[in-house]
Structure 1
């Protein structure tokens, strides 16, 4: 199995397990900058060099040796499950992707046909009933996670605990799991714990939100998208995420975690 979704700086100063929709573009760029003193020109997910990634075959042995010996500081970043699935909907389902097309080709037509979802389009200013469509998307996401139908769950809406666990199950150990909602504080705690070839001034780092501006803006507060049934579906998909990462299930309007992540509990619960 190895360490899918794992990135490491070329200097091996730090190891990061990517969790999609949790500030991964910004984190990747900070890692790149910490080695090279400049940001990658483009989307860091497209970088084929300048950083080790599990998806690059030549990097795999280096990442495996490092992680299994816990040679470097290892971390990941998580996000409120309510805002994460909303972000996935607006970015991946409603948005136009970097290549100018819809995400995953025939996915959106399938959703329109089978689930009655509307997504709007750039020509009409993305006018559609966001709440109704999002709730129908939730049914689809649940079907993919629970029954792997009509397709396997996508990495952007599969549970964070699933992403986080592969690193542990295969012999890795996290030194830090921080919150997207407290990004500067969390990322600074990582930088304070490692030695980087180039200094990083976090306050001057831009936010690399590669999905922004390609789709509709969220028209309502977060809590308006989640009625009783929606919350039930979200719990079915993400109950482990809420419990392990201390997020508030009862109040979709509260994006902030209720406490700190207990690393020992995460390793115990996700390590089997």
Structure 2
């Protein structure tokens, strides 16, 4: 958590964060709470969110789950000022394109693209009606640097999310609603550990070898380390704040210099 946070920065702001019970999503919920916001998130399987945040039990990979969270946001908060889509990840097996069945593709698209599309469709009309709001979609540098052995479907879904976000920004900007994308590289989270273990299992190697294979595929991280969840959360909070009132329709990469091109 950053050392200096204005506890009134988001006072009176109503924030919905998806994927807010662990990893970067949890850090994002905590950052908005620290800034004085009312925060609502969702979880499935009885997970617990940060203390002080509202929690809805919903599977956002389904249309019904998205509707449940949107309805709860309107009932509990009376509206949404900031909508942050952090939910994402991959459970696809290693083994390249041939290992990706239709069911795997559907699951990756539901988790990484359609969950955002559905919730936007439910909650953005009330932002448009007020003429203000901020939307942040968390994509990934994998849209540019896919790991073909294990993240092809995830990377394609995130590429779709980034392109969708740009189209959305063109539509919503004139209506007072800002839309931006945050694209992290490797982050220290439980999900990154799970990816390492899946690669190790599929190759018969060690977790250390799998971790090195990811670094090799990415071309290394010039900064020397992955990002921490709270660092990504700080960028998200900045983009949602009035300090970023002229930033719109842009992708903001936080990857320690991993992407080698401008």
More strand by share: 2
Higher relative contact order (CA 8 A, sep 6+): 1
Q: Which has the larger radius of gyration?
A: 1
